[in-house]
Amino acid sequence: MLGPYTALKDGRIKYKGNKVFDPIQDVTRGAYTIEEAERRISDIHEQGYWQAISVINNQIYISCIEYFSNLGALYTQLPLTTRMISSPGAVYGKEAIDYTSDTLPVTLDWFDLSTFLAESAQIYLELTLIQRDISHVYSIYNSFRKEETDATHLSEFHHIEYEGVVNQEENKQIIMDLCFKIVNDLVKFTSEELGVFLDEKKIKKLEEFSVKKQVYDIDLVEALEPLYRDTGDEKYREFTTEYFGSWEEVRLTEIYGGMVAVNKYPLLEVPFYHEHIKGSHPPVANCADYLWPGYIETIGSGQRIKNISELEEKAEIFNLPREDYECYLQSRRLESYRATSGFGMGWERLLQGILETPYIWSAVHFPRSHITMTP
């Protein structure tokens, strides 16, 4: 199967290795160090695989531009500073937690104001669509999260984000079309560079993956059942994302044997803007996360709340500062407002999944972590 990882029965996540990197028994114990950061310039100069990554990154960019242009989506310039965090917390049971606890933003002083570095372009892409004759927009921007760097997380990364006047099913088709185009183009135009990391068999599997376009589409409640059968752990009997982490995501792709789209998360355990699927018991959101084979979530998606009453109710439940989010609420009061859906694709995660590197910083020229800004 494609992907860098294997979920071991004892809870470890094993790195399988590729042509550049040796296997590692537990990648969760690895760390990006100051010593590795300080030798990054010499590594870029001496290790030829960095040049291969540059060529591959360039092709990913070209593939995205081509796809979005053919879709009629407009590239949109957006701010990197904001008071609106797009993924502000969740509610477990009846207890509301702080509105920035799900995604920890990076705070900075802006003249005499306090603001955040954007962790997503989503909200502003939504607001861009209030223009009457624009139906598809996208951005390829930096995102910042005050999270410690680990095997699959960076404190600064790149988002490929889309928002459109489409429903979630149409949005999911756009996700798949873009994803498979990227993989197909990489095999077609950068096979030599892929060959630096992957043997011929793996490149062939990538090609087959892009042609078959097979994704196992399941709901979270369906995802938890095979995890329970596989482990016998009673925690998977509970309908919650509390125990649905990286190990579970890797294992789920192994159980199904490929890419998995997990839909319908508990409504109050995902960001406030996701639409409630009416009539669902327990209540779930109209959202989906895409798990790369042998890896973790690379794409998050969902349909946004249209109804102003529902949005205001969610704003109160999630304890959003009304003065900061008023312009977002205002968009729903417009008579011409159109419901939208969208997604965010983590560029570096997609690259790590494709190249099967052990750590996310192994696929990034100048990684930004919580311990150093070098180089």
Q: Is 91 helix (H, G, I), strand (E, B) or coil?
A: strand
Is the residue at 370 inside a domain?
no
> Which pair of structure tokens corresponds to residue 310?
């529902």
Band the pLDDT of 95: cuts 50, 70, 90.
Answer: very low
pLDDT of residue 178: 98
Is the residue at 74 inside a domain?
yes
Long-range Cβ contact pairs of 53-56 (< 8 A, separation 24 or more): 53/193, 53/351, 53/355, 53/363, 53/365, 54/365, 55/190, 55/193, 56/186, 56/190, 56/193, 56/194, 56/351, 56/354, 56/355
Question: Cβ of 286: how many Cβ atoms within 10 Å?
Answer: 25
Calculate what percentage of the chain has a pLDDT beyond 90.
Answer: 88
Is the residue at 368 inside a domain?
no
CATH of the domain at 24: 3.30.930.10
pLDDT tens column, 210-240: 999 999 999 999 999 999 999 999 999 999 9
Strands (DSSP E) contained in the chain are: 5-7, 13-15, 74-75, 81-82, 91-92, 95-96, 106-110, 113-117, 136-144, 156-164, 216-219, 260-263, 287-291, 297-303, 341-346
Question: Mean pLDDT of all residues in the chain?
Answer: 94
Is the residue at 371 inside a domain?
no
Is the residue at 20 inside a domain?
yes
Q: Identify the residue with better confidence: 181 or 270.
A: 181
Number of domains in the chain: 1
For the cut 80, the answer to whether the pLDDT of residue 97 exceeds it is no
Band the pLDDT of 102: cuts 50, 70, 90.
Answer: low
> Which pair of structure tokens corresponds to residue 275?
């639409």
Cis check: omega of the bond before 88, within 30 degrees of 0: no
Residue 42: give the domain boundaries: 5-363
What's the CA gap between 120 and 98, in Å, rounded? 19
pLDDT tens column, 61-88: 999 999 999 999 999 999 999 999 887 6
pLDDT tens column, 156-202: 999 999 999 999 999 999 999 999 999 999 999 999 999 999 999 99
What's the CA gap between 27 and 35, in Å, rounded? 18
Q: Of 278, 341, 331, which Cα lies nearest the Cα of 308?
A: 331
pLDDT tens column, 41-57: 999 999 999 999 999 99
Is the residue at 295 inside a domain?
yes
Is the residue at 372 inside a domain?
no
pLDDT of residue 86: 81
Q: Identify the residue with better confidence: 90 or 150.
A: 150
The answer to whether 284 touches 267, Cβ cutoff 8 Å, is yes
In DSSP terms, 262 is beta-bridged to: 218, 289
What's the CA gap between 165 and 171, in Å, rounded? 9
For the cut 60, the answer to whether the pLDDT of residue 307 exceeds it is yes
Is the residue at 374 inside a domain?
no
pLDDT of residue 88: 63
Question: Cβ of 213: how many Cβ atoms within 10 Å?
Answer: 13
Cα Dmax for the chain: 59
